[in-house]
């Protein structure tokens, strides 16, 4: 390969921001497994309208090779995360690059130097600034991207290893496909019936679409208590979850979002949604002028779903409420012949992994998060 004339610039103009946002559209133009984001929303992702970046210091870098856009990266210091963990961990995310290692090296050099200047002693990523969209796809390149999940060429992992980054955590995705014969094992159905008979105050209900914001606040409150010991977690503001629900509201399916209550008090939830990427690929991520109508018209016919989150308050864990939630969600959707992806699951969460295996789900994808000391 002939050498490239590479330059790195800080995104400061509206034109450069547009180039940053839309670069993946060019990069993946011939990849049928990639799905575009909703571009109208993506344009706000890299501004302080994003609740995560609103409490972070951040910078966007754009790479040019021989004058053309060839890569991008976001570097940021999340003050909420570092204050909570008493750490100095800088994050990178939204990395994209042509298949040239010198482009990746130039981008990461700029990101690392910027984070060092912010006082960071470690850089971790990819931690993309939307809905816990973490990691590079590491295994499972034969499957299309799922809505709000990362997607990337396999060579991104090679870039990171060549630059001295090492795995810090793997995140797993599991799947059950009714169209391929998946069913919830009968022993779990019997368990659910016995649990509800033994605990008559336990009640499970679908989300109330008329009171979506109320239930969103319930999910936020439970999450901040139930998963606070999970790796990589830090308390997040209600505004961050509301931003997620705003994105999900047009596609929300009450059969896929369930809340379990004890004597009327919410104690757990599961949050699923249809995988609209099949629609986004058709409308190319553009809601207007006709894409939004196509989304509304087609969403109820989708048969692929993602289980995005499941959590139970600490004092209720170990009772089987997670099985109750998952089985209620899946049985509500099963008549449609759905494929359900459960993601993410931490690689060192044997309880959840064993439960998913017992429920008959199989692992289909691995996402890898990397880390490197900034002094290296």
Residue 11: predicted pLDDT: 97
Residue 282: predicted pLDDT: 86
**One domain, residues 110 and 86:** yes
Residue 156: predicted pLDDT: 98
CATH of the domain at 303: 3.40.630.30
Query: Is the CB of residue 368 less than 8 Å from the CB of residue 136?
Result: yes
Residue 243: predicted pLDDT: 75
Query: Any bridge partners for residue 57, and if so which?
Result: 77
Residue 103: predicted pLDDT: 97
- Give a yes or no: residue 35 inside a domain: yes
**One domain, residues 78 and 195:** no
Last residue of a domain, one of 170, 197, 231: 170
- Give a yes or no: residue 354 inside a domain: yes
- Give a yes or no: residue 356 inside a domain: yes
**One domain, residues 322 and 181:** yes
Q: Give the alpha-carbon dihedral of 12, 246, 329, 353, to 10 degrees.
A: 30
Measured CA to CA, the distance from residue 13 to residue 291 in angstroms comes to: 28
Residue 260 lies in domain: 176-364
Helix ranges, 163-290 (H): 186-198, 212-226, 238-248, 277-283
Pairing of strands 362-373, 122-125: antiparallel
Last residue of a domain, one of 143, 170, 197: 170
**Nearest CA to 273 among 245, 238, 313, 239?**
245
Last residue of a domain, one of 170, 201, 229: 170
**One domain, residues 321 and 196:** yes
**One domain, residues 104 and 250:** no
**One domain, residues 192 and 83:** no
- Give a yes or no: residue 292 inside a domain: yes
- Give a yes or no: residue 40 inside a domain: yes
**One domain, residues 15 and 154:** yes
Contacts of 335 (CB under 8 A, 6+ apart): none
Q: Is the C-alpha dihedral spanning 18, 21, 27, 32 positive or negative?
A: negative
Residue 251: predicted pLDDT: 80
Strand (E) or helix (H) holding 311: strand 304-312
| Two tokens, residue 130 | 């939307």
Report the domain count for the chain: 2
- Give a yes or no: residue 370 inside a domain: no
**One domain, residues 215 and 306:** yes
**One domain, residues 134 and 192:** no
**One domain, residues 12 and 143:** yes
| pLDDT, tens digit only, all 376 positions of the chain | 667 889 999 999 999 999 999 999 999 999 999 999 989 889 889 998 888 898 899 999 999 999 899 999 999 999 999 999 999 999 999 999 999 999 999 999 999 999 999 999 999 999 998 877 899 999 999 999 899 899 999 999 999 999 999 999 999 999 999 999 999 898 988 998 999 999 999 999 998 888 877 888 898 899 889 888 888 888 877 777 777 777 777 788 889 999 999 999 999 999 999 998 988 898 888 877 777 777 777 777 889 999 988 999 999 998 999 989 999 999 899 889 999 999 889 999 888 898 899 899 999 999 999 999 987 5
Residue 1: predicted pLDDT: 63
**Nearest CA to 341 among 305, 303, 301, 366?**
305
| Two tokens, residue 362 | 């199989």
- Give a yes or no: residue 275 inside a domain: yes
- Give a yes or no: residue 276 inside a domain: yes
**One domain, residues 221 and 334:** yes
Q: Which long-range contacts (CB under 8 A, 24 or more apart) does 22-29 make?
A: 23/62, 23/69, 23/71, 23/72, 23/96, 24/96, 25/285, 26/69, 27/96, 27/97, 27/98, 28/151
Residue 2: predicted pLDDT: 67
Q: Is the C-alpha dihedral spanning 9, 13, 16, 21 positive or negative?
A: positive
Query: Is the CB of residue 371 less than 8 Å from the CB of residue 168?
Result: yes
Class of residue 256 by CB neighbours under 10 A (exposed 0-12, middle 13-18, buried 19+): buried
**One domain, residues 67 and 194:** no
């Amino acid at each position: 390969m002939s050498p490239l004339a590479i330059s790195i610039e800080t995104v400061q103009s509206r034109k450069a921001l547009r180039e940053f946002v839309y670069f993946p559209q060019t990069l993946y133009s011939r990849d049928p497994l990639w799905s575009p984001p909703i571009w109208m929303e993506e344009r706000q992702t890299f501004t302080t309208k994003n609740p995560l970046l609103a409490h972070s210091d951040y910078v966007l870098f754009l790479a040019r090779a021989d004058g053309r856009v060839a890569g991008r990266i976001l570097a940021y210091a999340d003050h909420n995360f570092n204050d909570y963990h008493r750490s100095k961990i800088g994050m990178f995310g939204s990395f994209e690059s042509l298949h040239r290692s010198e482009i990746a090296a130039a981008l990461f050099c700029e990101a690392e130097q910027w984070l060092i200047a912010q006082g960071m002693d470690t850089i971790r990523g990819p931690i993309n600034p939307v809905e816990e969209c973490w990691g590079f796809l590491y295994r499972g390149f034969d499957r299309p991207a799922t809505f709000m999940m990362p997607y990337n060429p396999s060579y991104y992992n090679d870039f990171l290893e060549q630059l001295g980054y090492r795995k810090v955590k793997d995140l797993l995705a599991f799947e059950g496909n009714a169209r391929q014969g998946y069913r919830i094992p009968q022993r779990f159905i019997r368990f659910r019936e016995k649990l509800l008979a033994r605990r008559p105050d336990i009640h499970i209900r679908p989300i109330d679409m008329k009171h979506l914001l109320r239930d969103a606040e319930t999910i936020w409150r439970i999450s901040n208590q139930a998963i606070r010991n999970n790796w990589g977690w830090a308390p997040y503001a209600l505004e961050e979850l509301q931003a997620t629900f705003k994105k999900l509201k047009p596609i929300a399916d009450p059969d896929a979002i369930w809340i379990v209550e004890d004597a009327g008090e919410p104690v757990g939830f599961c949050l699923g949604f249809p995988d609209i990427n099949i629609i986004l690929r058709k409308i190319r991520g553009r809601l207007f002028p006709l894409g939004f109508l196509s989304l509304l018209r087609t969403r109820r016919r989708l048969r692929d779903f993602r289980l995005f989150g499941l959590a139970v308050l600490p004092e209720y864990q170990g009772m089987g409420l997670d099985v109750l939630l998952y089985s209620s969600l899946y049985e509500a959707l099963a008549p449609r012949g759905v494929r359900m992806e459960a993601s993410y699951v931490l690689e060192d969460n044997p309880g959840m992994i064993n439960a998913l295996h017992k429920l008959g789900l199989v692992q289909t994808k691995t996402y890898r998060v990397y880390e490197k000391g900034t002094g290296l």
